[in-house]
Amino acid sequence: MLRAEQLAVYFVMGTVNCQSEQSPLEVLEDALAAGVTIFQLREKGRGALQGEQLELFARQCQELCQRYGVPFIINDNIELAFKLNADGVHVGQDDEPLQLVRNKLPHAIVGVSVHNEEEMKLAVAGGADYVGIGPIFATSSKEDANPPAGVGFLSKIRQSYPDYPIVAIGGITSKDAAAIRLAGADGVAVISELCRSSNRQQTVSLLRGDQL
């Protein structure tokens, strides 16, 4: 069962997103220690791990999340999520239909990416535990990203669904977090902002709104 507050600082990462001196696992543990509230393994793009390498890396990420008591979500890969008994999965509009995901993983947290009102209606009707709205701004972390949805769309969805768990994603920095929360998001999801941060404790604090 997902609580909306668990979406507060949603870290999304794969090995291809980590271009620093730290290894991907070091980046993840640093972010977990800094206070991220949920983690999604999104291993996609050129050079992404596959097969046994992906499974090993996913298990290592899962172990770190369990150590810090943070939900471990897998992007798109339903079979891997089932095999690892992950806490949940996140699917896009081009991935497996929500009902099929629910049938395969009846007890998992299921998140769905939405970009318009019709997709939001279907996600709610299908019983998604939360939705990811975005991209809020232009993003370089996803090659096939949709056009920016903007803060206005987020605000409109919040007005229509006042109690539904919503996380905003796409081009978000710590400077944007306050406005995005005011627009109605329960949390912000970031990739580059944490992967490239030189002070993740401070970055997480700003994303969470501690210094507002």
- As annotated, the active-site residues are 42, 113, 142
Helix (H, G, I), strand (E, B) or coil at 185: coil
Tokens of 144: 């096939």
φ and ψ at residue 64, rounded to 5 degrees:
-65, -45
Helix (H, G, I), strand (E, B) or coil at 130: strand
Spatial CA neighbour of 112 closest among 96, 126, 127, 92: 92
Q: How many Cβ atoms are within 10 Å of 110's Cβ, its own excluded?
A: 23
Radius of gyration from C-alpha coordinates of the chain: 16
Rounded to the nearest 10 degrees, the angle between the axes of helix 117-125 and helix 150-160 is: 40
Q: Give the span between the Cα atoms of 77 and 44, in whole angstroms.
A: 10
Q: DSSP string of 46-111?
A: TT---HHHHHHHHHHHHHHHHHHT--EEEES-HHHHHHHT-SEEEE-TTSS-HHHHHHH-TTSEEE
φ and ψ at residue 110, rounded to 5 degrees:
-125, 120
